[in-house]
């Protein structure tokens, strides 16, 4: 639900005064907290900021939607602050507004995520409202229908959005028989079918204490935090009843799919096999991606496709490690008649980098940037809370922030070249959304 301006303004002012430090390790002394009931959280104390920021994640996201009803988790996430316990939507929102409390919930492919932002002197109220949202969501009919229509309105807009059309086509083509192939926010056909029972069943399967990861930042100590964790999460089931999710095997690698749409520019999405986050080669792959297309203005693709040829305004790549697969993704936009030329150039540059590896200068600059820029992930309480949760989800260890720089430093050119041979094994799947009639090349429809 959209947050009122008054709440946004107050929390925004507080967040602007949050942590800022050039050394992430110095700004984030992490304390492991275990509540009296056995619930674990990572805490970064910051008495100078009168705000508590908590992020959490529970295993099971869009991958727990029924196959015939994608979008259940997404709709449920939009309803948790629309009434809980004995508070209807209006009463719940009024209590949030009076105390400038911000609750947020969203569904990722593998996880259900939530957040709480509350001023120090409203801590009890904030944790109480979060407790109600997770343990006693009402899912009232009027709230369901109001949020359902908002989702459907967004889905209707997506039918004319080249970015959304291309993304949906890419995922359902790459993973046609897997939850990853289904859209998180559902479809125009599935969302009208979602019932209150579906929403209750979803939260009943996913909301549990096992696989729960929590990060807290702000003016709170371990003694105070422990009972609050029990208050919010203690009544959840010890274990969820999640459906098992099979490893995802990517299909259609090497194909180019075209969708005819009358838009000024063609939108290109591409992706192939990446490297898992737990793989020892992930850090070399991370550096290689920065050199390839993750480094914005300094990347190989930007220099070759944008600066030298002028075919695009921007081009990017990124690693996307999921629980059941690992991908290297990318995208750009160009004139429709230049789509094939742009794609050929992108693939040629990627192949050259994979075959030959980067130069020593490129590697040194990438290392320097990736170590220095990491501090930007820790310049507010909100960012730090998110990082604490993500590090736990990735199982990197509580000392990862301290170790990360040395892990980057020890990567050699030989490491990069070895890892490059593993990336995009089998080629890439490409979707192009634009005016295909302007392009005489042979098309494969999507």
- Could you say which DSSP state residue 137 is in? B
Q: Where are the domains of the chain?
A: 5-233, 256-438
pTM here is 0.91
- Burial label for 140, CB within 10 Å (0-12, 13-18, 19+), is middle
Tally Cβ neighbours within 10 Å of residue 125.
Answer: 17
pLDDT score of 305: 94
Work out whether strand 111-119 and strand 51-59 pair parallel, antiparallel, or are unpaired.
Answer: antiparallel
pLDDT digits (tens, 9 = 90+) for 376-424: 999 999 999 999 999 999 999 999 999 999 999 999 999 999 999 888 7
Using DSSP, state whether 267 is helix, strand or coil. Answer: strand
Phi, then psi, of 274 in degrees rounded to 5? -110, -145
CATH number of the domain located at residue range(s) 5-233 in this protein: 3.30.830.10
Buried/exposed 148-181: b ≥16 CB within 10 Å, e otherwise: beebbeebeebeebbebbbbbbbbbbbbeebbbb
What is the structure's pLDDT at 442?
A: 42
pLDDT tens digits along 115-125: 999 999 999 99
> In CATH terms, are 5-233 and 256-438 the same topology?
yes
Is the domain spanning 256-438 CATH 3.60.15.30? The answer is no
Residues of the chain with pLDDT under 70: 1-23, 25-27, 436-446
pLDDT at 27: 61
DSSP state of 296: G
pLDDT at position 4: 43
């Amino acid at each position: 639900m959209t947050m009122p301006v008054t709440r946004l303004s107050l929390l925004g002012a507080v967040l602007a005064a949050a942590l800022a430090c050039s050394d992430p390790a110095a700004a984030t002394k992490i304390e492991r907290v275990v509540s009296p009931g056995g619930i674990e959280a990572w805490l970064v104390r910051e008495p100078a900021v009168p705000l508590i920021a908590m992020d959490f994640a529970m295993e099971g996201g869009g991958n727990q939607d029924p196959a015939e009803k994608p979008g259940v988790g997404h709709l449920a996430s939009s309803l948790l602050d629309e009434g809980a316990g004995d508070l209807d939507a209006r009463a719940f929102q009024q209590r949030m507004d009076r105390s400038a409390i911000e609750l947020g919930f969203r569904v990722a492919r593998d996880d259900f995520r939530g957040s709480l932002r509350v001023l120090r002197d409203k801590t009890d109220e904030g944790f109480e409202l979060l407790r109600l949202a997770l343990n006693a969501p009402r899912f009232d009919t009027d709230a369901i229908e109001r949020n359902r229509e908002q989702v459907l309105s967004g889905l209707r807009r997506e039918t004319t959005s080249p970015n959304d059309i291309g993304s949906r086509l890419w995922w359902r083509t790459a993973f046609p028989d897997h939850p990853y192939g289904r859209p998180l926010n559902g479809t125009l056909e599935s969302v009208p079918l979602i019932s209150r029972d579906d929403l209750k069943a979803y939260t009943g399967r996913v909301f549990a204490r096992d696989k729960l990861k929590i990060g807290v930042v702000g003016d709170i100590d371990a003694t105070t935090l422990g009972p609050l964790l029990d208050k919010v999460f203690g009544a959840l089931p010890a274990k969820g009843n999640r459906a098992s999710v099979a490893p995802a095997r990517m299909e259609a690698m090497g194909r180019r799919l075209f969708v005819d749409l009358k838009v000024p520019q063609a939108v290109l999405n591409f992706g192939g096999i990446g490297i898992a986050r737990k793989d020892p080669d992930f850090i070399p792959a991370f550096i290689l991606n920065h050199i390839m297309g993750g480094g914005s203005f300094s990347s190989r693709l930007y220099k070759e496709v944008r600066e030298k040829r002028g075919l695009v305004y921007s081009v990017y790549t990124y690693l996307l490690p999921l629980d059941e697969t690992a991908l290297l993704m990318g995208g750009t936009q160009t004139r429709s008649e230049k789509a094939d030329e742009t794609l050929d150039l992108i693939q040629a540059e990627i192949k050259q980098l994979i075959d030959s590896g980067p130069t020593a200068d490129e590697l040194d600059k990438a290392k320097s940037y990736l170590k220095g820029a990491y501090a930007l992930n820790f310049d507010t309480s909100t960012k730090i809370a998110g990082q604490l949760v993500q590090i736990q989800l990735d199982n990197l260890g509580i000392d990862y922030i301290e170790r990360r720089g040395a892990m980057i430093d020890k990567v050699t050119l030989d490491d990069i070249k070895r890892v490059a041979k593993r990336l995009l094994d089998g080629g890439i799947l490409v979707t192009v959304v634009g005016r295909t009639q302007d392009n005489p090349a042979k098309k494969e429809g999507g």
